[in-house]
A = this chain, B = another copy of it.
Amino acid sequence: MKVFRQELTPVSFLDRAGAVYPSSAAVADGERQFTYREWLDRARRFASALRAEGLRKHDRVAFLTSNSESLLLAHFAVPMAGGVLVAINSRFSADEVEYVINHSGARFVFSSAELKGQLPLNTDVVELGEEFEKLVESGSQGELEGWLQAEDDTIAIDYTSGTTGRPKGVMYSHRGAYLNALAMVIENRLNRESVFLWTLPMFHCNGWCFTWALAAVGASSVSIPRIDPEDVWRRLDNDGITQFNAAPTVLIMLANHPAAHRCARKVRVCTGGAPPSPTLIGQMGELNFELVHLYGLTETYGPLTLNIAQPWLESVGLEEQAKFKSRQGVPHVTAGEVGVIDERGNPVPSDGETLGEIVVRGNTVMKGYYKEPEATEEAFRGGWLHTGDVGVMHPDGYVDLRDRKKDIIISGGENIGTIEVEQAVMSHPAVLECAVVAIPDDYWGEVPKAFVSLKPGQAVTEAELIEHCRKHLVHFKAPKQVEFCELPKTSTGKIQKFVLREKEWSGREHRIH
C-alpha cells in the first residue's frame, strides 16, 4: 500500500467496526446475535475457509437464500477473501437460477435448505446452517492478506430480475460500493444508534448498499427472512427499529394491515422501486414514518437520487406537498449527474412537461454487464447510462419519473405516462393498488386500462372509478377500462405489467415499443 493511497473498498468498514465498535450489536437473526468483534472474526473465518477450499482471486461465490445473517456476512467475507459475490434473487425460477450459476461461472454455491431445490441437480452446494457453520469454523480468525489491487475490481455481480429476456449480470466495483454506501450513511443519517430492519431483500442491489453502509457507522441489523406484517409491526414496537426500506407495494401492505398504528418514535422509511403515491405518502405520515423517496436501478447500486424537501413546501397544501414528494428528485451526495434527454441525446427543456429518457453518469454507475460487452455498450451509448425510464426535468432540477420506456402509452399520437394515471386511480379511497397498461384500440391505437385491487371491505364500480379519474386528469389520459383483480408481482414487489399486457395483446401484432 502506498502511504497516501489505499484502494477504496467497503470491506474496510467491517475491519474498522470490529475494532472500533467491538461490543455493539452487528446483526441479529432470530436467536443468533453477533457483536461487531465477533462478527469480524466470523467474516475472517469464512473468508479464510474459502481460500483454504481453493478460492482464487475474482472467483464468483453465489448465494441463494432469503435474507439471513449468512448472506449479510458474505457481503464482507467474499470480497475479503478476494472473491466476487453473486447474491441470487430468491424468487428466480429454477431456469433462471441455473442460468445465473452457469453464466457467472460460480465456483462456490451456498443455499438455504428451502431453496436448494431451485438449483441444478448436479450443483456442488454448501447448505446454510450446520454445513455452513462447519465450513466457517474450519477457517482462521486472523487478518487475511489482502488481494485487492484496484478499487475498480468487481465486488459483486447482481443479476437483474428482467421482466423479459435473460437476467443480466450487473457488475459493481469496490469503489462504487464504497461511495454509494457512504452516501446511504449521509443521506439517511445512519449512525451507531441506528437499528435497521431488513424488510428489503439483501439480494436486491446488495440491499441498496445498506449491507455495507451499516458497518461503516457500527449500526445494527435485524435480519428477517420474509415480511410478515404483524411481525414487522411487533418489531417496530419492541426492537427499537429506527429505519427500514421497502418498495411502495410493501408499504401499502403494512399501512393497511389490521396491526397498523402510529409509531411511538419516528421511524425513517426509504422507499423506491416505484414512486409512492400521494395517498401512500399521506398515510405514512400519519403512522409517524418519515418517508424518504429514493430512485435508482440495479445498474446504479440501488439508490441514485432522493427527494430532498424544500423549505417552500411548508407553505403549500398537503396535496401539492405529496405531489412534490412523489418526484424522484436529485442525485445523492456521491452520485454524479442525472439528466433527461431526447432521442437525439440532447437534454429536454427543464419544464416539467417534456418527456425524455432519464440518463446518468458518475461513480455509482455499474462497470457494465458481466460478459455482455454489446449490452453494456448499448446501455452506455452517448456517454450516459440509459435507464430505460421516461421522465421530465422540472425547472428546479428535480427528475420526475413518468414511466418505464416500454410501458408508456401512445394514444392518438399523445404520450401517456402510466404513473400519472395510476396515481389518479389510487387517489380513490377504495383502491389498494393499481397498474395501468396500454390495450389495443382500433381508433386511438392504444388506450389506458387500469387493473385494480381494492382495500378489504371496499367497493367501487368501473364507471365510478373512470369518472373519478376524469376529475384529476385530462380526459384522454383516464382509463377506458377497469378490471378488478390481484396484481402479478416480481420478487421485489414490482408489479409485472408485461403479464397484464400480454393477456391484452395476445393474438395481436407486437407493439412497436
Asked if A336 contacts B23 (CB within 8 A), the reply is no
Asked if B331 contacts A4 (CB within 8 A), the reply is no
A217 contacts partner chain B, Cβ-Cβ < 8 Å: yes
Residue from B22, B152, B216, B363 within 8 A of A8 (CB atoms): B363
Copies in the complex: 2
How distant is A210 from chain B, measured CB to nearest CB, in Å?
15
Chain B residues whose C-beta falls within 8 Å of the C-beta of A191 in the assembled complex:
189
Chain B residues whose C-beta falls within 8 Å of the C-beta of A336 in the assembled complex:
6
Asked if A3 contacts B380 (CB within 8 A), the reply is yes
Residue from B173, B186, B311 within 8 A of A182 (CB atoms): B186
Query: Given A16-B331, A23-B310, A312-B23, A186–B216 Cβ distance below 8 Å?
Result: yes
Chain B residues whose C-beta falls within 8 Å of the C-beta of A247 in the assembled complex:
none
A362 contacts partner chain B, Cβ-Cβ < 8 Å: yes
User: What CA separation (Å) do A191 and B186 show in the bound complex?
Assistant: 8
A174-208 Cβ-contact flags toward B at 8 Å (1 or 0): 00100000100110010100000000000000000
29 A-B pairs, CB-CB below 8 angstroms? A1-B383, A2-B361, A3-B361, A3-B365, A3-B383, A3-B385, A4-B173, A4-B362, A4-B365, A4-B368, A4-B385, A6-B361, A6-B362, A13-B333, A16-B330, A16-B331, A16-B333, A20-B397, A21-B308, A23-B312, A24-B311, A182-B182, A182-B186, A182-B333, A186-B186, A186-B217, A189-B191, A216-B333, A217-B333
Residue from B20, B330, B361, B383 within 8 A of A19 (CB atoms): B330
Q: A5-B363, A22-B310 are in contact. List 15 more A-B contacts (CB 8 A).
A: A1-B383, A2-B361, A3-B361, A3-B380, A3-B383, A4-B362, A6-B361, A6-B362, A8-B363, A16-B333, A19-B397, A22-B396, A23-B311, A24-B311, A182-B186
A1-48 contacts to B, CB under 8 A, are 1-6, 8, 13, 16, 19-24
A88-119 Cβ-contact flags toward B at 8 Å (1 or 0): 00000000000000000000000000000000
User: What CA separation (Å) do A189 and B191 show in the bound complex?
Assistant: 8
A351-374 Cβ-contact flags toward B at 8 Å (1 or 0): 000000000011101111000000
User: What CA separation (Å) do A334 and B175 show in the bound complex?
Assistant: 12
A324 contacts partner chain B, Cβ-Cβ < 8 Å: no
Chain B residues whose C-beta falls within 8 Å of the C-beta of A330 in the assembled complex:
16, 19-20
How distant is A328 from chain B, measured CB to nearest CB, in Å?
13
Chain B residues whose C-beta falls within 8 Å of the C-beta of A173 in the assembled complex:
4
Asked if A4 contacts B366 (CB within 8 A), the reply is yes
Question: Chain A: residues with CB nearer than 8 A to chain B?
Answer: 1-6, 8, 13, 16, 19-24, 152, 173, 176, 182, 185-186, 189, 191, 216-217, 308, 310-312, 330-331, 333-334, 336, 361-363, 365-368, 380, 383-385, 396-397
User: What CA separation (Å) do A189 and B190 show in the bound complex?
Assistant: 9
How distant is A492 from chain B, measured CB to nearest CB, in Å?
23
Q: From A379, which residue of chain B is reached at the shortest CB distance?
A: B3
Chain B residues whose C-beta falls within 8 Å of the C-beta of A185 in the assembled complex:
186
Query: Given A182-B182, A185-B186, A363–B4 Cβ distance below 8 Å?
Result: yes
Chain B residues whose C-beta falls within 8 Å of the C-beta of A1 in the assembled complex:
361, 383
User: What CA separation (Å) do A381 and B311 show in the bound complex?
Assistant: 52
Chain B residues whose C-beta falls within 8 Å of the C-beta of A182 in the assembled complex:
182, 186, 333-334
User: What CA separation (Å) do A449 and B152 show in the bound complex?
Assistant: 54
Q: From A361, which residue of chain B is reached at the shortest CB distance?
A: B3
Asked if B176 contacts A4 (CB within 8 A), the reply is yes
Chain B residues whose C-beta falls within 8 Å of the C-beta of A24 in the assembled complex:
311
Q: From A312, which residue of chain B is reached at the shortest CB distance?
A: B23
Chain B residues whose C-beta falls within 8 Å of the C-beta of A312 in the assembled complex:
23
